[in-house]
Amino acid sequence: MSTHPASRFAVAAFAAVIAGVPVVDGTVDLARRVRPPVADLFTQPPTQANLRATEHAMEEGSAVARAVRPWMLAARFLGLRDGGDKVLRGRGGWLFYRPGAEYLTARPPAGGSMVNDALAAVRGFRDELDARGIRLMVVPVPNKESVYPDRTFRGGRPPAGALAPETAAFLSGCRRAGIPVVDLFAEFRIARAAGAPDLYLATDSHWTPAGLRIAVGEVARHLRAPAGPSAYAVLPAPVRRTGDLVRMLQSPAIEAAVGAEVVACERVVRAESGAPYADDPASDVLVIGDSFLRIYETDEPGGAGFIAHLARALGRPVASLVNDGGGATLVRQDLVRRPRLLEGKRVVVWAFVERDLRLAAEGWPVLALPDLPRRIE
């Protein structure tokens, strides 16, 4: 019986694809004088960890996969509104961080929530600071999804805010322990109800200058900032930002399609000299936290973020320590390594995004601070 030509085509096409990709990858690696990751199979012992690492390197290092991936991601995002594992596409062009959405809706993992660990870490940190005569103020920063749940889906009714059970447990736990905690959830809800401009960026997981100002105002109120004119002034400093959620999609085609946002930042400067805001490590206020402190501060335009605006509200410079994505633990570890930052401090303001209560990669260990001479009043 003769073979149908379509059968020959199916075999040839299939073989060409499955054998062609490694040939192309190998050729590209050789042209770049890079050792193909597959070679690791013959140079390392075949342990489970080595095999996984090699497989991962082969997937990530494949020239064909790297060429195809951005286009496939773009097709999914633009055609099916699918943002993959990281991004949830809301309505009106708004993007959300999928783990933040899951934090709000999903049950805590089987191993249990980290809220108790977080409360223990906060209490431990408070006690360590108390022993040095320093007050702790905790600022859990709401996920964008908690402030704008209605913008994730067309059925949502504005203005609405949502409080994740773990966040609610953390806030009440802090209050029970007598730890000053700034409730930005309530403040943002009130601001939205009052018709405030957008408090978060549409294509980024962080707050806008408007959201940041509300947070600063609330923290400053808790710190009893002095009334009257500040030593600082602000200058308009609009910037164009490609949102972090857009960048997470790892596709230039998506970046081009979504475009950048224009953000009306205000840069803090010395009122007298016009000099840009600068931290003072000797300040009596230390602000520590994650990327919510970094945005507009060390990012463009610079000196326009939470830290600078808090300094303006307080009328004096502050000291700061920022660790992107490490608001729960890494920033405290940084502080342990740089204990002199605590010298002369009266207050530590600790800001971290709420989803760290479940997702903090390093967990919430209780850390001991190195000894310092006690502050002399």
Partner 1 sequence: MVFTSHIFVFYFLPLTLAVYYLLPDRTGPRNAWLLVASYVFYGWWNPWFTALMLAVTAINHAGGTVIARPGAAERSRKAALVLAVASSLGLLVFFKYAGFLQVNLNHLLGAFGADGVRVWSIVLPVGISFYVFQALSYTVDVYRREAPPARTFADFACYIALFPQMIAGPIVRYGSVALALRERHCGVSLFASGTVLFMLGFAKKVLLANPIGGAADAAFGAAAPGAGVAWAGVVAYALQIYFDFSGYSDMAVGLGRMFGFEFIKNFDAPYRADSIADFWRRWHISLSTFLRDYLYIPLGGNRRGPVRTYANLAIVMLLGGLWHGANWTFVAWGAYHGILLIAERAAGRAPAWRALPRPLRVAATFVLVLGSWVWFRAETLADAAAYFTAMAGCGVPADARSAVLAAQVFEPGRLVPMAVAGLLLISRRQAHEWSAAVTWPKALVAFAVFLVALAAMAAQAFNPFLYFQF
- Chain positions contacting partner 1, by CB under 8 A: 1, 3-11, 13-15, 17-19, 21-22, 25, 38, 46-48, 51, 55, 58-59, 62, 64-65, 68-69, 71-73, 76, 80-85, 88-90, 96, 98, 101-102, 104-107, 110, 145, 149-150, 152-153, 155-156, 160-162, 164-165
Axis crossing angle, helix 115-130 with helix 165-176, rounded to the nearest 10: 30
- Minimum CB–partner distance for residue 213 and partner 1 (Å): 24
- Minimum CB–partner distance for residue 330 and partner 1 (Å): 25
Tell me 341's DSSP state: G
Q: Which is nearer to partner 1, 147 or 220 (CB)?
A: 147
In degrees rounded to 5, what are phi and psi of residue 221? Answer: -60, -45
- Minimum CB–partner distance for residue 168 and partner 1 (Å): 12
User: What tokens does 7 get?
Assistant: 């059968």
- Minimum CB–partner distance for residue 6 and partner 1 (Å): 4
- Minimum CB–partner distance for residue 38 and partner 1 (Å): 7
Q: Which is nearer to partner 1, 10 or 177 (CB)?
A: 10
Distance CA 56, CA 40 (A): 12
- Minimum CB–partner distance for residue 64 and partner 1 (Å): 8
- Minimum CB–partner distance for residue 30 and partner 1 (Å): 16
Q: CA dihedral in degrees (148, 265, 295, 298; nearest 10)? A: 180
Q: Which is nearer to partner 1, 104 or 215 (CB)?
A: 104
Q: Which is nearer to partner 1, 36 or 140 (CB)?
A: 36
Q: Which is nearer to partner 1, 102 or 284 (CB)?
A: 102
Q: Which is nearer to partner 1, 101 or 335 (CB)?
A: 101
Tell me whether the omega of the peptide bond preceding residue 301 falls within 30 degrees of 0, making it cis.
Answer: yes
Q: What is the CA radius of gyration of the chain?
A: 25
Distance CA 236, CA 266 (A): 5
- Minimum CB–partner distance for residue 76 and partner 1 (Å): 6
Q: Is the separation of the CB atoms in 214 and 191 below 8 Å?
A: yes
Q: H/E element holding 25?
A: helix 5-31
Q: At 173, is the secondary structure helix, strand, or coil?
A: helix
Tracing tokens 């549409």 back to the chain, one arrives at 202
- Inter-CA distances, 12 with 19, 26, 68, 152, 237, Å: 10, 21, 22, 46, 60
Q: Which amino acid is at 286?
A: L
Q: Which is nearer to partner 1, 113 or 333 (CB)?
A: 113
Q: Which is nearer to partner 1, 11 or 257 (CB)?
A: 11
Tell me whether the omega of the peptide bond preceding residue 159 falls within 30 degrees of 0, making it cis.
Answer: yes
- Minimum CB–partner distance for residue 73 and partner 1 (Å): 5
Q: Is the separation of the CB atoms in 274 and 307 below 8 Å?
A: no
Q: Which is nearer to partner 1, 161 or 209 (CB)?
A: 161
- Contacts of residue 293, defined as CB under 8 A and 6 or more positions apart, other chains included, come to 287, 305, 306, 307, 320, 322, 351
